[in-house]
Amino acid sequence: MEIKVIKDIMGANDQIARKNRQLFDSNKVFVVNVMASPGAGKTSVIMETIKRLRGKTGVGVVEGDISSSLDAEAISKEDVPVVQINTGGECHLDANMTAIALGDLPLKDIDLLLIENVGNLVCPAEFALGENIKVLIASTPEGDDKPFKYPLMFHEADAVLINKVDLLPYLKFDVDAFARTIQGINREVKIFPVSCTTGEGIEEWVSWLLGRMGEK
């Protein structure tokens, strides 16, 4: 009986996710589900991405958090449409939460929608939102063992950004070993070492993102 309940929940979520995707496609919006643990730098990466896309493409943001609107307030300073979702304790966004938030976004003016999921390395990978791609941000202070502990997140990601590489001189983090482990889980994944502090790798990430948008 418990298994059936779980299947029903996931099936209902997937059905709403498909409707979200139809809405995105009808408005020609490319959607990125941005996932990471707390403090990995999701908001910082989103802000750096927005800055480099200003004047090139219309960007919108959905901010997901358990509580508060701090990240949405920071994003709003970049003069892009942003909607905050507070989950009230849930450790991830789901398709229904996303569907409700879309009513407050001018989708016809948006080419790229960045959805910042709740900081968590377990649940977000299991719940489709209607996105085109999933992007995982892993920061160097977290350590290079995360692909072993949370393989599903890395398996589901289309790209992994290794953030805060400017801190590598002070940490025991093997970037090459980390990348090899990820590619052993997911052969198709793209990996970008980046730093929102120095700007390293951000242009490469944004260029790849624009390329994926062009494939749609």
pLDDT of residue 10: 76
Domain architecture of the chain: domains with CATH: 2-215 (3.40.50.300)
Q: What are the pLDDT digits (tens) for 71-80?
A: 899 999 999 9
Determine the Cα–Cα distance for residues 152 and 150; give it in Å rounded to an integer. Answer: 6
Query: Which of 197, 39, 5 is closest to 116 using CA atoms?
Result: 39
- Two structure tokens written together for 197: 């502090």
pLDDT at 1 over 70: no
Element (H, E) at 114: strand 112-116
pLDDT of amino acid 11:
83
In which residue are the tokens 């496609």 written?
25
Contact 111, 53 (CB under 8 A): no
Q: Tell me the per-residue pLDDT of 44-56, one tens digit each, with 9 for 90 and over.
A: 999 999 999 999 9
User: Cα(32)–Cα(113) distance, rounded to whole angstroms?
Assistant: 6
Give this prediction's pTM. 0.93
Tens digit of pLDDT for each residue in 169-203?
999 999 999 999 999 999 999 999 999 999 999 99
The dihedral of CA 121, 126, 127, 130: what is its sign?
A: positive
Do 16 and 117 touch, CB atoms closer than 8 A?
A: no
